[in-house]
Amino acid sequence: MSSVKVQRSIARLVPQGARVLDLGCGDGALLDLLARERGCTGYGVEIADDNVLACVRRGVDVIQINLNEGLAMFDDASFDVVLQIDTLQHLRNTEVMLRETARVGRIGIVAFPNFAHWPNRLSIARGRMPVTRRMPYQWYDTPNIRVSTYKDFAVLARKNHLRVLDAFGLQNGHEVRWLPNARAGTAVFKFERG
């Protein structure tokens, strides 16, 4: 999910001048955009060596840690916003990291592939796991260890006492607010502790 339109949709949710922690920040492109266009500061967290190097080259402050080990190094509410953009589905401790996101940040924003998107449903109905632009892997080589839907996340947020401030889907760089569970390849949620 690297298109500029998608990054701008996520960036719009981040308050001007916010202190941001981006979990699984990849090459740092979103943090760079937030710094340049929204006056934000903060850090990226990344495990992959190549991405850490890309962040450094981009001038993005990055910490190399494994998110499966948690966020104990950060105090409560030490960031205005904590981002998990295409990160949640790769974590073994998904629910713990969701609670940690809400603990460390005043606001959390997550985005993940929406498995309930209609092309995925059609593929399952045909007896095959979906392979799409949004999820370009075969079932046996995917880095996604969790699959979820827009509606699943809404249930998980309630279970963990998170108050959803905004939620929508993204499809081809456009926000989808009507039937996002079926009409969008990406689910986006902005939340705070309830």
What pTM, to 2 d.p., does this model score?
0.93
Q: Is the pLDDT of residue 194 over 90?
A: no
Q: Which helix (H) or strand (E) holds 94?
A: helix 94-104
Which tokens hold the place of 130? 């979906």
- Write down the pLDDT at residue 158: 96
The domain in which residue 130 lies consists of: 4-193
Q: Is the pLDDT of residue 186 over 90?
A: yes
How many structural domains comprise the chain?
1
Query: What is the Cα–Cα distance from 164 to 159, expressed in whole angstroms?
Result: 12
* pLDDT tens-digit readout, 102-117: 999 999 999 999 999 9
For the chain, give the mean pLDDT: 93
The CATH number of whichever domain residue 85 belongs to comes to: 3.40.50.150
- Write down the pLDDT at residue 15: 97
Which tokens hold the place of 34? 């937030």
